[in-house]
Amino acid sequence: MAEIEKTPFIHRTRNKPIRVRFSETNVIVDLADGRAVAMPLYFFPRLETATDAQRQNYQLHHVSVRWEELDEGIDLIAMLTGLYTESEPVTVAPAVSAATT
């Protein structure tokens, strides 16, 4: 078995969401291992236009976050891998060149 096949893609506890917060332009999910992953709010128009109270009314699941009132959710596997559904925006902000980082 190849080494990559032995490595679990989604670790049961490391990738567990523990909190959601918002900046002016991003939704940020804090994970159990201390990492924080962010995505632009424009990927989630319902969250982008939601009130603070609506944004704070979420449920944490094993690999997702759900806002029932807004009929919105974030799949952490998609967030961690960059694999989005076709309904996600195609145009994104320009990437920073690896040579300049």
Report the chain's mean pLDDT, rounded to a whole number.
Answer: 80
Place of tokens 């690999």: 63
pLDDT confidence of residue 44:
94
Please tell me which residue, 7 or 83, carries the higher pLDDT value: 83
The encoded tokens of residue 9 equal 């893609």
What predicted TM-score, i.e. pTM, was given to this entire model? 0.72
| Spatial separation of the C-alpha atoms in residues 30 and 27, rounded to whole Å | 10
The encoded tokens of residue 101 equal 């980082």
Q: For 64-83, how does the pLDDT look when each residue is reduced to its tens digit (9 = 90+)?
A: 999 999 999 998 888 888 77
Q: Which amino acid is at 63?
A: V
**Please, which pLDDT band fits residue 9 given cuts at 50, 70 and 90?**
low
Contact 29, 94 (CB under 8 A): no
pLDDT confidence of residue 11:
65
